[in-house]
């Protein structure tokens, strides 16, 4: 299985999710958007997409987090 993590902040860690994926020998990739990493080009390139939190909230405006 191909699992992709999107991390919005340096302090966000996949923790137990990553340990489980590695134990199951799944393919794991990352996009660290705080370092301007690119997101996957095609949704078909991953089986599971795990989006880690971030500083944004429902009260945030689009201009704060475009």
CB-neighbour burial class of residue 5 (10 A; exposed 0-12, middle 13-18, buried 19+): buried
pLDDT computed for residue 66 by the predictor: 63
Q: What is the phi/psi pair of residue 44, to 5°?
A: -70, -10
- Tell me how many domains the chain contains: 1
CB 14 within 8 A of CB 49: no
**Tokens describing residue 44:** 């078909």
Residue located via tokens 């134990």: 23
Q: Spell out the per-residue pLDDT of the chain, length 66, in tens.
A: 999 999 999 998 999 999 999 999 999 999 999 999 999 999 899 999 999 987 778 888 888 776
Residue 56 belongs to some domain of the structure: no
pLDDT computed for residue 29 by the predictor: 97
Q: Which domain holds residue 10?
A: 2-51
Residue 59 belongs to some domain of the structure: no
pLDDT computed for residue 55 by the predictor: 77
Alpha helices in 1-66 (DSSP H): 15-23
pLDDT computed for residue 62 by the predictor: 82
């Amino acid at each position: 299985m191909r699992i992709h993590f999107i991390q919005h902040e340096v302090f966000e860690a996949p923790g137990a999710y990553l340990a489980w994926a590695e134990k199951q020998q799944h393919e794991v990739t990352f996009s660290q958007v705080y370092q301007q990493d690119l997101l996957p080009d095609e949704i078909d390139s991953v089986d599971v997409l795990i989006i880690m939190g971030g500083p944004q909230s429902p009260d945030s405006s689009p201009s704060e987090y475009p």
